[in-house]
C-alpha cells in the first residue's frame, strides 16, 4: 500500500483511530498528507487554533471561510464534529496511533497536525 490513492481509499472508510499501522507509516515524516493536503507540525507544548490549522493545512483558503465552515457544523477534529470557532488544538487532542490530530473540512478536505517535540 504505497500508492497515495490506496491510502486515501483506505482511510476514507475508517475513523482515524482505526487506521492500520501500514496505512499510518507512509504518512509519517512525509511532506504531503492524505488527499494531497499539507501536513503541519505543532510542538507538543504549544497550542493552535482550529481556524489557523484549517488554513495552514490547506483545507480552507482563509480564516473567514474556516470560521464559516466551523459555524455551519462542517468541520471535524478526529472525526468528531465541532461548532466551536474558538476551539484550541492541544497535544491532548492527538490520536495515539499516529500522534497527530486529523482535521476535516467538508467531505474530502483532510489535514494532519503532527505533534513534535
Per-position pLDDT tens, the chain of length 117? 445 455 555 556 667 667 666 666 655 544 444 445 578 888 889 999 999 999 998 889 999 999 999 999 999 999 899 999 999 999 999 988 778 899 999 887 888 898 887
CATH number at residue 49: 3.10.290.10
Residue 81: per-residue pLDDT: 95
DSSP code of residue 47 = -
Q: What are phi and psi of 102, to 5 degrees?
A: -100, 125
Q: How many CA atoms lie within 13 A of 99 on its CB side?
A: 10
pTM above 0.75, yes or no: no
As to burial, measured by CB atoms within 10 angstroms (0-12 exposed, 13-18 middle, 19+ buried), residue 84 is exposed
* Residue 33 cell numbers, joined: 498528507
% helix, strand, coil for the chain, step of 5 = 35, 25, 40
* Residue 77 cell numbers, joined: 477534529
In total, how many domains does the chain have? 1
Residue 107: per-residue pLDDT: 82
First to last CA, the chain: 29
Rounded CA-CA distance 17/27 in Å is 14
Residues of the domain holding 18: 4-116
Amino acid at each position: 500500500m504505497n500508492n497515495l490513492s490506496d491510502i486515501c481509499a483506505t482511510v476514507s472508510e475508517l475513523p482515524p483511530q482505526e487506521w492500520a499501522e501500514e496505512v499510518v507509516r507512509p504518512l509519517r515524516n512525509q511532506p504531503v498528507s492524505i488527499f494531497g493536503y499539507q501536513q503541519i507540525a505543532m510542538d507538543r507544548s504549544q497550542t493552535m487554533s482550529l481556524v489557523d490549522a484549517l488554513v495552514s493545512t490547506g483545507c480552507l483558503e482563509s480564516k473567514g471561510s474556516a470560521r464559516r465552515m466551523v459555524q455551519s457544523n462542517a468541520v471535524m477534529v478526529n472525526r468528531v464534529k465541532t461548532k466551536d470557532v474558538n476551539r484550541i488544538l492541544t497535544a491532548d487532542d492527538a490520536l495515539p496511533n499516529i500522534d497527530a490530530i486529523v482535521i476535516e473540512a467538508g467531505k474530502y478536505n483532510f489535514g494532519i497536525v503532527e505533534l513534535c517535540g
